[in-house]
Structure 1
Amino acid sequence: MAPSTRPCRKNGSKTVGERTTAMTRKRELLADERESAWDEPARQRASSLEVQVGEVITKLREHERFELFGNVGREELPRPDQLDMGGKFLVNKQRIERSIIFEIACLMPKGAHLHLYFNAELPAEKLFPYAQQLKNTMFIRSKRALLKPQDLAETEIQFNVLPKDTKTGNIFTENYDINWKSPENASWMKWTDFREQFPADMTFGELDSAECWAPEKMIITPNKAYAEHQTTNGVWACFNQGTRAFKGLMNYASVYRWYIGNAKCSWTSQDPADDGVGKLGHNEQMEIVCEEVEKKKQQYGDRFPFGLKIIYCTPRSIPHAKMKSELEDCIKLKLAYPDFNLYDALLLNAKRIGHGYALLKHPHLVKKYADAKIFLELCPISNELLELLAAGLHCTLNADNPALYR
């Protein structure tokens, strides 16, 4: 057989023509990716000044990657004070608050807050001074008797405003009644008595030991969120326990009005009045919301054209009878405060969804969401590592439950 006349390649090397073709295809792939990038339209229409500002922002970001966070590629293991700029939100929160990039973001114009829970907007520490004033009607209960440090760390608590003659127990005794569901239970303890008997080794400003401990039961800390054996269900349980405890601190008329005025938005569940006897129903809540929003409009004027929409929802865990009464209230409120969103509901074309946490697990849906321009309401704790923008999805950034993340 005659020897081959084709040129011999050493170690599988490519010819000049093949290398040129590969480089051309690589440039084409990069160009295609750039063209489909979520921020490409903004880049294309950017003015020379905007381009210059973008370059400054990029330099600031890289400066903070090295100087503020410090965890960059190197041979040595990172020190405890060196964090990953793209790391987990709760770990990085204090660094983010020192960031110039974050300061610039705070000064940028905003549209609307699309995803914000009413009963987790302001820190619990701001509510405790009001709770102190309800000496006979603010109560607390615990899922276990508080006899040792482990109990303090692991229990769930709830607050509520109740009649002053409510049957009570002592949370700090072995025979404390932990059966919350029993109609004859004595699980509630007056908040005043609880504070007096709580171990007196913690203080913070005008707050006593109990008021320093209780907020820890309402927030999601890095240890709770990122513990070695933590699970998604576990974090969700922490979240639910926190919101349940938080809600009881603001479910009375005077603080509800104050809260609306300070938080300037949304909604909560059915609440009793200050005396723990009269009920503050949904209609009364709506009247307070409207009154306080009108006050804010007059206060800010043209400087803050403020408005809000209320999303009426209930927990999925409530009994059927309670769900029926909630729906009846919803219908009554719609009749009293009508709008035209029934047309949108009829068409069933959603404009946005909350979180979209599992969306990337369904690739066939990603393009449909992107093409339909359905926006995702992202929150720092739930979507901190998802590459949603890179997938072509439309996103908004929201606080969700700002008082719960520390």
Structure 2
Amino acid sequence: MTAQTQPTPTGLELFDNAVKDLGETTNAITYNNNRAELLVNERKEPWDREARAAANLDEKIACEMIRQIREFERVSPLVFGNVPSEQIPPPEARDMGGQFLTNKTRIENRSILFDISKMVPKGALLHLHFNAELHPERLLEECRELKTMYIRSLRPLLNEDDLKETEILFEVRDPVQESQHPGDIFDPGYKGAEFKKEHNENDMWMQWGTFRKRFNHQFGELYLPNVKARDYEKNPNSSEQGPVGLEPVENWVLQKMVLSEAEAYGVTQTVNGVWARFNQATRAFKGLLNYEQVYCWYIKKAIDRMIEEKVMYAELRPMLMDKTIPSTDGKRKLDLSTQMRLIIQGVKEVKAELEKEKRLDDFPFGLKVIYCTPRSISKSRMAEEMKDCLKLALELKNAGQGNFICGFDLVGAEDRPNNIGFYSDLLVAFQKACKDLGLNIPFMFHAGETLLDTGGSDDPSKSNLYDAALLSAKRIGHGVALLKHPYLIENYYQDIAVELCPISNELLHLVRNVKQHPYIQMLAAGIPCTINSDNPSLFSNSMSHEFYQVMVGSPTMDVHGWKQFALWSLKYSCLSDDHKKHGNSIFLERWNMFCAEVIDTYSVLFDSAKIEQLRQSGTFDSKKIQLARDKVNEAFEKKKARDDERVKTDSKYAEEQKKQKGKWKFGDAGGFSKS
């Protein structure tokens, strides 16, 4: 009798058998072991290894506490609450790490992580445009009674469309000369002019005080404030030291100077469009800052703000192509040398006050200046700019100011001509001249702040990242396009720092939000990076906002990363080696204080007894750090209640303002009163 042949198992049966044996088979064990080994190997050389290796127990505890707070805020409906689901998120939910301006109020009023971001010592601020540290409310407040301040418009202001479409400039001018040909921007015969046509300035400028009165009388009810000025707690992240109650005309000007959520994220907005809007805002700012009286005041206020934000040193980028600024009376012109001395004097006065208060470690090294000029100018004009830079740097060095001019930069939208290589012969000559003169002025180019990455041409070989590398730039600004160039990264950019400006890159349409920003990939590729605020006055941001954004932009970011950014900011600064050493010492002391403060302040949201046990034992165990859900919910409920009350108050105030339309009359002082 022939033995029956066993049926061959089907594919599905083989799979089922394999699943049953999975826990016992060598293959499953091997896979799990290989996976564990893979994770260990990837984490052997983390980008923040310097900071991580030196972390003490408090830093490790604070790191885990902050990580858990972040992840709670991500999913909590009290803060963000936009979680993956088949359900459409409720209208009040927000996406952590989503659009900055959309989230900004939520971040500031509900996020404990943002409160911690304000506490963190940030090292050096290496990418800050000179005219953009303080918000425009303060500049408008400063010039209210200045009789020499004038305004100019691109068109006459006759209706609401004119108000929306025009561009404006401010400038301090000589009233005696202006009285001979005063402009009237509200006259239908006002010609306006393209701002570059300097030959046609007669009848263009209107005295600011006169303009304020006329505007408030004619259009004031269109620009009544929607939010009542409140006595906020002094907030280092808004540059506001108390409320600023703006007149209607100032509310209108403010809209010209600050990029709004609608302008940044509008469905028809483009890279070129938002850049043009950004440049308009920059031009409007210029005249409110560039005159003698406010120059001195501005520097001191800017340093005050940096200190409040826990920044200990900064390198400013003024645009120095305009060689003079007016005196406050409009009768004299102050040259570049005088402008630099005003900055130096302002720094000196602040440091003297800090020393008197025994707080010099708050800002021990003052400021330095990176000479900036636009990349859009001719080669002959660029040669003159380089000569001016060398002359100024040499003069200040000989006057005992060392390398106060600490770098040279070419600025402007990279999708417009010219690329850095266009000036390569001049830039090489500049390097030789610096060497011959004993000057240290490294290049700090804006490079890679683009999606096209073609240096304003249709030729990818003209990327500014090539020339920045070949010209041995010390740092580059933005670098968003770097990941397109693996060869450059491996062979050139391992020791060229990138000045990251994540919020700027989002608002200028290089990324949609911080979660799409390539900073984590840059760091993983071995590129040293620093965190910077770029143009706070235009973007409504701060260094604390920037540190917050990089923390929520990737779940792999943690407190050790914050520390590494700050350490790199000092390492790649233009400070002397002795000052870098001293700066590191100050920073590390304050870093340890920060970590201890985080634990002392926020352990109440955790099982605080277990955290104290960890500190007493001297050993770290992340499993013993656990959020106390009832306590953390209570804390966020209080924050949400305060935020809801703020929104309610603002809505009520805005409604009251609408009801008052037609019941206001213009006062001689430039303000409004009820009729």
Aligned residue among 274, 286, 291 for 1:252: 291
**Judging changes above 3 Å, is the alpha-carbon distance between structure 1 residues 44 and 285 closer, same or farther for their aligned structure 2 residues?**
closer
Structure 1 residues 68 and 370 mapped into 2: Cα distance closer, same or farther (>3 Å)? farther
Map 1:63-142 to 2 at 5 A.
63-65=72-74, 66=76, 67-98=78-109, 99-135=111-147, 137-142=148-153
Q: Alignment RMSD, CA only?
A: 2.9
Deviations 1:26-48 (A, max 9, x none): 33333333334323554454333
How far is 1:148 from its partner?
2.4
Q: Is the 8 A contact 1:378 1:397 kept in 2?
A: yes
- Judging changes above 3 Å, is the alpha-carbon distance between structure 1 residues 214 and 36 closer, same or farther for their aligned structure 2 residues? same
Letter in 2 for 1:372: D
| Alignment-derived partner of residue 211 in structure 2 | 194
1:374 deviation in Å?
2.7
Cα deviation for residue 224 of structure 1 reads: 1.0
Which has the larger displacement, 145-154 or 221-230? 145-154
Which residue in 2 is equivalent to 1:217? 256
Aligned to 1:146: 157
Structure 2 vs 1, CA of residues 170 and 59 (structure 1 numbering), >3 Å: closer, same or farther?
A: same
Distance 1:320 1:255 in 2: 33
Taking the aligned partners of 2:116 and 2:261, their CA distance within structure 1 comes to: 26
TM-score, length-scaled by structure 2: 0.55
2:192 to 178, 195, 199: 178
Could you say which residue in structure 2 is the equivalent of 1:300? Answer: 354
Which residue does 1:37 correspond to in 2?
46
Change (3 A) 1:11 1:289: farther
Range that drifts further, 365-374 or 91-100: 365-374
Q: Which ranges in structure 1 are unaligned for 5 or more consecutive residues?
A: none
Change (3 A) 1:40 1:287: closer
Letter in 2 for 1:378: C
Distance verdict in 2 for CA 1:212–1:188, change over 3 Å: same
517, 525, 546: which one pairs with 1:386? 517
Alignment of structure 1 residues 235-384 onto 2, 5 Å? 235-264=274-303, 266=316, 267=318, 269=320, 270-301=324-355, 302-303=358-359, 304=362, 305-318=364-377, 323=382, 325-338=384-397, 339=402, 342=434, 345=442, 348-368=471-491, 371-372=494-495, 374-382=497-505, 384=514
Which stretch shows the higher mean deviation, 277-286 or 164-173?
164-173
**Cα separation, 2, equivalents of 1:68 and 1:369:** 42
Aligned partner letter, 1:171: I
Judge conservation of contact 1:140–1:160 (CA < 8 Å) in 2. yes
- For 1:153, the aligned partner's letter is K
Pairing partner for 1:405 from 536, 539, 554: 539
SS in 2 for 1:254: helix
Amino acid at match of 1:395: C
The CA deviation at 1:73 is 1.9
Taking the aligned partners of 2:372 and 2:343, their CA distance within structure 1 comes to 16
Residues 159, 247 of structure 1: 8 Å contact kept:
yes
Which segments of 5 or more consecutive residues in structure 2 lack a partner in the other structure? 226-243, 304-313, 407-433, 444-469, 507-513, 541-675
The code of the aligned residue for 1:293 comes to V
TM-fit CA distance, 1:320: 6.3
The structure richer in helix per residue is: 2
TM-score, scaled to structure 1: 0.88
* CA displacement, residues 179-236 of structure 1 (integer Å, 9 cap, x when unaligned): 2315134332221222122112134555321111101101111111111011111111
The residue that corresponds to 2:269 in the other structure is 230
**CA separation in 2, counterparts of 1:55 and 1:362?**
35
SS state of the match for residue 314, structure 1?
A: strand
Is the CA contact (8 Å cut-off) linking 2:82 and 2:93 kept in structure 1? yes
Equivalent-residue separation in structure 2 for 1:4 and 1:119 (angstroms): 85
Deviations for 1:129-167, whole angstroms, at most 9, x for unmatched residues?
A: 3322222x2111222332222222232211111222233
Instruction: Check whether the contact 1:114–1:377 (CA below 8 A) recurs between aligned residues.
Output: no
1:113 Cα deviation from its structure 2 partner: 0.9
Distance of aligned partners of 1:38 and 1:7 in 2 relative to their CA distance in 1, 3 Å threshold: farther
**Highest relative contact order (Cα 8 Å, sep 6+), 1 or 2?**
2
Shift of 1:321: 6.7
Separation in structure 2 between the aligned mates of residue 109 and residue 138 of structure 1, nearest angstrom = 38
Distance 1:193 1:326 in 2: 38
- How far, CA to CA, are the matches of 2:34 and 2:8 in structure 1? 25
Residues 353 and 262 of structure 1: CA distance in aligned 2, closer, same or farther (over 3 Å): same
Residue identity in the other structure for 2:140 = F
Q: Secondary structure at the match of 1:35?
A: coil
Report % sequence identity: 42
Q: Which residue of 1 aligns with 2:62?
A: 53
